[in-house]
Amino acid sequence: MTARRIGLLGGTFDPIHLGHIELASLAQKTLWLTQVLVIPANVPPHRTKPLTSSFHRFAMTALAVAGRDGWQASDVELRHEAPSYTATTLGRFHQQGYQPTELFFLIGADAFAEITTWRDYPQILDRAQFAVVSRPAYPVARLREQLPGLADRMVAIEEGGEPPAKPSIILIDGKTADVSSTAIRVKLSAGESVEGMVDDRVRQHIAQHGLYRSSAPDRQTLSPVNDPPAGRLHGQN
- Average confidence (pLDDT) over 38-46: 81
Between 158 and 236, the higher pLDDT residue: 158
Q: How confident is the model at residue 224 (pLDDT cuts 50, 70, 90)?
A: very low
Q: What residues contact residue 101 under an 8 Å CB cut-off, 6+ apart?
A: 129, 163, 164, 165, 166, 167
Q: What is the CATH number of domain 6-234?
A: 3.40.50.620
Q: What is the pTM of this model?
A: 0.89
Domain ranges of the chain: 6-234
Q: What residues contact residue 13 under an 8 Å CB cut-off, 6+ apart?
A: 20, 38, 40, 41, 57, 60, 61, 181
pLDDT at 230: 42
Q: Does residue 217 surpass a pLDDT of 50?
A: no
pLDDT tens track for 158-207: 888 899 999 999 999 999 999 999 999 999 999 999 999 999 999 999 99
pLDDT at 237: 38
Q: Does residue 55 surpass a pLDDT of 80?
A: yes
Cα(24)–Cα(191) distance, integer angstroms: 29
CB atoms inside a 10 Å sphere around CB 117 = 12
